[in-house]
């Protein structure tokens, strides 16, 4: 199943669990819109010590987005108390809730084991966090979305089109390592002529690297990202019914140097 850029089955029922102590409140609207792409968030809870003035910015946003606050006092100074409450609730929902997947919103690696356990139980796990999120938690998820992407999209929406192209510092550059990852994935699913259906490429990329997202590199979809890389070529074909274009990708053959 290809996640990046595609709307998934809205029959997916998601439990959204947010680490209020670990995630900034500024882009909760964009975050909930992103989650809605992957399913219907039937359970929405946020965990934190709501007696702490630091979480005051969340309160109005919770009402606007129908998110239920769960009170969790900090029993030990300097220790995030929301982790255990989120983990206990997640396991309760796993066994008693009618959900097909979970969205864990945190940048904390303490949720790595939880994500692994939920996937072992056959649930889809989506992670959302900042780019500082440790890799073990990222790879434990089926898909991981950086909140910085959502911030940039929100800023682009409110920025005049004439000035959008001037900000390139907040997107990653395509590295030789990423190009090799894409090339290897194309080879994995290609036919005898070297052509691979882009949907299959996207699905396998997501399995290999859960945080792979074309938006990390400044592209809304995988097609323009692939098209921007000289090493690959794209071909559009009509399906058997002629209703839509199917996109295939191939690694360009290297031109051999002429002999003297």
* Residue-wise pLDDT tens digits, 145-166: 999 988 766 566 554 444 343 3
Closest CA to 145 of 210, 67, 221, 219: 210
* Residue-wise pLDDT tens digits, 206-255: 999 999 999 999 999 999 999 999 999 999 988 777 667 899 999 998 76
Domain ranges of the chain: 13-164, 176-251
| 171 neighbors 155 (Cβ within 8 angstroms) | no
Closest CA to 104 of 129, 74, 71, 139: 129
| Across 183-198, average pLDDT | 95
Burial of 138 (0-12, 13-18, 19+ CB in 10 A): buried
CATH number assigned to the domain covering 13-164: 3.40.50.1010
Domain 176-251 part of CATH 3.30.565.10: no
* Residue-wise pLDDT tens digits, 125-141: 999 999 999 999 999 99
């Amino acid at each position: 199943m290809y996640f990046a850029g595609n709307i998934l089955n809205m029959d997916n029922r998601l439990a959204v669990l947010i680490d209020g102590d670990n995630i900034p409140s500024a882009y909760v609207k964009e975050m909930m819109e992103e989650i809605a792409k992957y399913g219907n968030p039937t359970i929405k809870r946020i965990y934190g010590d709501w007696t702490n003035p630091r979480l005051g910015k969340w309160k109005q946003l919770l009402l606007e987005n129908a998110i239920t606050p769960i009170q969790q006092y900090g029993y030990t100074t300097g220790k995030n108390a929301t982790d255990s409450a989120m983990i206990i609730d997640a396991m309760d929902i796993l066994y008693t809730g009618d959900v097909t997947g979970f969205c864990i919103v945190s940048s904390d690696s303490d949720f790595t084991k939880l994500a692994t356990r939920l996937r072992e139980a056959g649930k889809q796990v989506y992670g959302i966090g900042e780019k500082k999120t440790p890799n073990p938690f990222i790879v434990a998820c089926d898909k991981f979305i950086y909140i910085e992407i959502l911030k940039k999209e929100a800023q682009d929406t409110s920025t005049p089109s004439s000035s959008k192209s001037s900000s390139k510092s907040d997107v990653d550059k395509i590295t030789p390592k990423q190009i090799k990852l894409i090339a290897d994935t194309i080879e994995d699913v290609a036919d005898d002529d070297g052509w691979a259906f882009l949907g299959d490429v996207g699905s396998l990329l997501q399995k290999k690297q859960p945080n792979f997202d074309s938006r990390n590199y400044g592209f809304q979809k995988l097609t323009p990202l692939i098209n921007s890389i000289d090493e690959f070529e794209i071909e559009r074909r009509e399906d058997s019914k002629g209703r839509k274009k199917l996109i295939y990708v191939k690694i360009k053959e290297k031109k051999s140097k002429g002999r003297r």
